[in-house]
Amino acid sequence: MKKMHTDDILNAARDVLHIEANALTDLSAHLDAAFVKAIELIMACTGRVVVSGMGKSGHIGRKIAATLASTGTPAFFVHPGEASHGDLGMITPDDVMLALSNSGKSDELLAILPLVKRSGAKLITVTGDLDSPMALLADAHILVSVKREACPLNLAPTASTTAALALGDALAVVLLKIRGFNEEDFARSHPGGALGKKLLTYVSDVMRTGERIPVVQSGASLTDSLLEISKKQLGMVTIINSERKVVGILTDGDVRRLFEKGVDVRTLSVDEVMSPNPRTINQDVLAVSAVELMQRHHINQVLVVDEAQKLIGALNIHDLFAAKVV
């Protein structure tokens, strides 16, 4: 085992990164009409993009398929070995196959690609050899060749797989731009992610309703209002009129300030100390809008009203935290 000092380790790592960075620079410089043809084939596809590859190319292919699927281009990965034993039936004439092989001579892929072509599906190949069997079969062939692998033996796929992965990203992003794929589209593909929570969660999904809303009628005593704040634990109470329209709000912060002033709460009505015309929001807007409203006005609660300005819900910042909108 060779002993390496700190500088040797860092220099060896930097060499790898430089080799792979150079491979990407070369790939960018040599992109040509074949890439455009591949984009056109995928955009014309009425089915899905079927990605396939063996070994390390297969690992790269799985990631490319996942990236395409999450950015607006329906795609899935098929292992070429499994395709030879029944999974080829998953590919239809409406599909486009994207096949990856650095050598362009993968036996497993070459066993199925003529059958894919015969089915009527279009074929895009990504190899490191323009004259390889896979390149010659393709409707569009994208050359991804590297001068050398980052592996000092020039054997382990390193720079070549990095370049193939980056090419897959380039395909996905260009397709994304052509399709006009936006944040809301992305959120629908990632409902469990942070962006999905922000763009798919509405005020109606997180607001408290019915008996969970702390509310008293205009004219109620301050004592009853304090009991309602304590009971509902939302940090405030809403004051409504006989038509259930909001006339004011009393927060726990307001209550603390009253006690600091030595006010006798037993002698007052809630109307005397409430804040009139509180901030409200509609239930049909995104919950992130409630976050923005709270931040803009330095408040922790917001009331939800309908078109007639009648109270239908309430929420605070903790509800938004619980929904992972914040």
The whole-number pLDDT of residue 214 equals 95
Which CATH code is given to the segment(s) 203-322? 3.10.580.10
The whole-number pLDDT of residue 160 equals 96
Query: Where are the CATH 3.10.580.10 domain residues in the chain?
Result: 203-322
- For the stretch 115-134, pLDDT in tens is 999 999 999 999 999 999 99
The whole-number pLDDT of residue 45 equals 96
- Token readout for 210 is 């019915």
Nearest CA-CA partner of 205 in 264, 125, 289: 289
- 207-225: string of b/e by CB count within 10 Å (b at 16+)? bbeeeebbbbeeebebeeb
- For the stretch 239-263, pLDDT in tens is 999 999 999 999 988 888 988 888 8
The whole-number pLDDT of residue 108 equals 94
- The pTM (predicted TM-score) of the whole model is 0.69
Taking 50 as the pLDDT cut, the residues of the chain under it are: none
Nearest CA-CA partner of 255 in 246, 265, 268, 269: 265
Q: d(Cα 168, Cα 164) in Å, to the nearest integer?
A: 6
The alpha carbon torsion through 191, 193, 194, 196 (nearest 10 deg) reads -20
Residue 49, strand partner residues: 75, 96
The whole-number pLDDT of residue 184 equals 74
The whole-number pLDDT of residue 86 equals 77
Q: Contact at 8 Å (CB) between 200 and 206?
A: no
Residue 12 CB coordination number (10 Å): 12
Query: Where are the CATH 3.40.50.10490 domain residues in the chain?
Result: 6-181
- For the stretch 256-282, pLDDT in tens is 898 888 888 788 899 999 999 999 999
Q: Contact at 8 Å (CB) between 117 and 123?
A: yes
- Token readout for 234 is 């939302």
The whole-number pLDDT of residue 4 equals 87
Q: Which of the listed CATH numbers 3.90.180.10, 2.60.120.10, 3.40.50.10490, 3.40.630.30 matches domain 6-181?
A: 3.40.50.10490
